[in-house]
Amino acid sequence: MIKVSIKDRQGQVHEVEAPTDMNFNMMEICKANELPVKGTCGGTASCASCHMYVLSDTALPNASEDEEDMLDSAFFVEDNSRLGCQVYLANHMDGLEVELAPEDESADY
Amino acid sequence: MIETDILIIGAGPVGLFTVFEAGLIKLRCHLIDSLGQPGGQLTEIYPKKPIYDIPGYPKILAGDLVDNLMEQIAPFDPGFTLGERADSVEKDNYGKWIVTTNKGTQHKASVIAIAGGLGVFEPRKPPLAGLEHFEDKGIDYIVKEPEKFRGKNVVLAGGGDSALDWSIELSEIANRVTLVHRREQFRAALDSVEKAFDLANTGKMDIFTNAQVTGLGGNGKLNSVTITNKAKEQRDLDTDYFIPLFGLSPKLGPLASWGLGLQGNAIKVNPLDYSTNVDGIYAIGDINDYPGKLKLILCGFHEATLMVQSAFKRIYPDRHLSFKYTTVNGVNSF
């Protein structure tokens, strides 16, 4: 179990616990905690609805070509942009901090 | 007027399988989908991705699952209204439902099964201040009539095929086309990318990479966009039009105003038969909600199966429904 913090689009920070033995990704953790992340494609890096910024300097595997391609459909992409569904949680990621990226304002969750 | 027994809204996997289960009890089906092809998000978003939790298939590509479902339901000859969105619903004098699409096509049915998944696919809109204010006043999400852009300045944003293809096509008729993309790599077809850069090198188009549109300007009508590059340098670019091309995303859409009980963006149903609060309208698959709901294709298949039994009793209250296994004579005897 590790702790991660998620800043929502209103700036509120949510500290949540996340197991590392179930191959969870950050999209799933957000949804499990009822944070407004859509995850339309079910975590296959085929939509851009779980776009988030990584705020901490946690070491993460680089984004794949598929993930980079899909980030083209995200808004306000920065160097620290990731698709949450491609960030799989591991023990060394304790203290990971992310911020949900701006979404289509009329998006449903 | 198209007439059927069960009008299915949404031609994703659950909508398609409903045709099979309805066919087994001799109920005819017609499907409406806003997309131009059946399959819903499996076809639109991830046709080449494997799915691992379809019973009997250790692994199947989403597109192949849709092809298989189409083959499986073919004996029951379903009708399709594709590329049209189910907009409004009303009841006629005989208690049947009339559903009209955004293009005016009318459908009559005894029962409606909403299998709308996450909703209707619509263009993703960038969260820019004032965006809605400029819609149809300089901002378009799809290019319907290229002629409209003749002699105008047009800014497009995106890195996929539609962004590249439209930039190339509009560069021939617009005064000035500017393509803005967040990185140097494009995911569009290689020959389109090469063609666009050729046009840029000969001064017929501008391509700004490592840049994004971050602001809109104008008074009543769009007249400029703000472009910010990776170094956070900003520049305003005069333009008549801005066309953001960031793909499609599902929205609940017109169904939200059909008088159905909602739970968030899902339709509340009775888990006994997946009926909604409106008699004769059912909701199955990802679009419904009930205690313990799981948004899985296999659960949607189960819901469709039970739903059509309830629909039969509603359509033929006096008839006895006898259950028949497909193993006895195959599907051709149904």
Place of tokens 């990971």: A96
Q: Is B195 on the interface with A (CB under 8 A)?
A: no
What is the arithmetic mean of pLDDT over A85-108?
87
Quote the minimal CA–CA distance from B126 to chain A in Å: 6
- Looking at the structure, tell me whether residues B104 and B42 fall in a common domain: yes
- Looking at the structure, tell me whether residues B319 and B291 fall in a common domain: yes
Q: Is A103 on the interface with B (CB under 8 A)?
A: yes
A65: closest chain B residue by CA: B187
Q: B56: domain CATH number? A: 3.50.50.60
Cβ of B49 and A48 within 8 Å? no
- Looking at the structure, tell me whether residues B241 and B160 fall in a common domain: yes
Q: Is B96 on the interface with A (CB under 8 A)?
A: no
B44 lies in some domain: yes
pLDDT in tens, B97-133: 999 999 999 999 999 999 999 899 889 999 999 999 9
The residue from B231, B246, B261 where one domain ends is: B246
Cα–Cα distance list, B225 to B118, B211, B255, B322 (Å):
32, 12, 34, 65
B68 lies in some domain: yes
- Looking at the structure, tell me whether residues B265 and B307 fall in a common domain: yes
- Looking at the structure, tell me whether residues B233 and B193 fall in a common domain: yes
What is the arithmetic mean of pLDDT over A63-75?
93
A70: closest chain B residue by CA: B187
Task: Single out the residue of B277, B287, B282, B325 nearest to residue B307, CA to CA.
Answer: B282
B143 lies in some domain: yes
CA–CA dist B185, B198 (Å, integer): 15
pLDDT tops 50 at residue A109:
no
The residue from B202, B227, B246 where one domain ends is: B246
Which residues in chain B touch residue A68, judged by CB atoms under 8 angstroms apart?
A: 183, 185
pLDDT in tens, B178-227: 999 999 999 989 999 999 999 999 999 999 999 999 999 999 999 999 99
Q: Is A68 on the interface with B (CB under 8 A)?
A: yes
Whether residue B227 contacts residue B234, with contact meaning beta carbons closer than 8 Å, is answered with yes
Give the residue numbers spanning the domain of B309: 2-122+249-329
B310 lies in some domain: yes
Q: Is A66 on the interface with B (CB under 8 A)?
A: no
B18 lies in some domain: yes
Q: Write the burial class of residue B105 (CB in 10 Å: 0-12 exposed, 13-18 middle, 19+ buried).
A: middle
Most distant CA pair in chain A, distance: 36
- Looking at the structure, tell me whether residues B130 and B224 fall in a common domain: yes
B334 lies in some domain: no
Structural domain total, chain B: 2
- Looking at the structure, tell me whether residues B8 and B59 fall in a common domain: yes
Cβ of A108 and B46 within 8 Å? no
pLDDT tops 60 at residue A105:
no
Q: Is A94 on the interface with B (CB under 8 A)?
A: no
Quote the minimal CA–CA distance from A98 to chain B in Å: 19
Q: Is A34 on the interface with B (CB under 8 A)?
A: no
pLDDT in tens, B53-65: 999 999 999 999 9
Mutate to test the interface with A, among B42, B48, B49, B185 (most CBs of A within 10 A): B49
Cβ of B49 and A49 within 8 Å? no
Q: Is B293 on the interface with A (CB under 8 A)?
A: no
The residue from B246, B268, B300 where one domain ends is: B246
Task: Write the DSSP string, B241-301.
Answer: EEEE---EEEE-GGGGGSS--EETTEEE-BTTTTB-SSTTEEE-GGGEE-TT----HHHHH
- Looking at the structure, tell me whether residues B8 and B114 fall in a common domain: yes
Q: What's the mean pLDDT when you consider all of chain B?
A: 94
Whether residue B101 contacts residue B84, with contact meaning beta carbons closer than 8 Å, is answered with yes
Quote the minimal CA–CA distance from A11 to chain B in Å: 16
Of the candidates A46, A69, A106, the beta carbon closest to that of B46 is on: A46
Task: Single out the residue of B79, B76, B78 nearest to residue B333, CA to CA.
Answer: B76
- Looking at the structure, tell me whether residues B7 and B118 fall in a common domain: yes
- Looking at the structure, tell me whether residues B257 and B114 fall in a common domain: yes
- Looking at the structure, tell me whether residues B257 and B321 fall in a common domain: yes
- Looking at the structure, tell me whether residues B9 and B73 fall in a common domain: yes
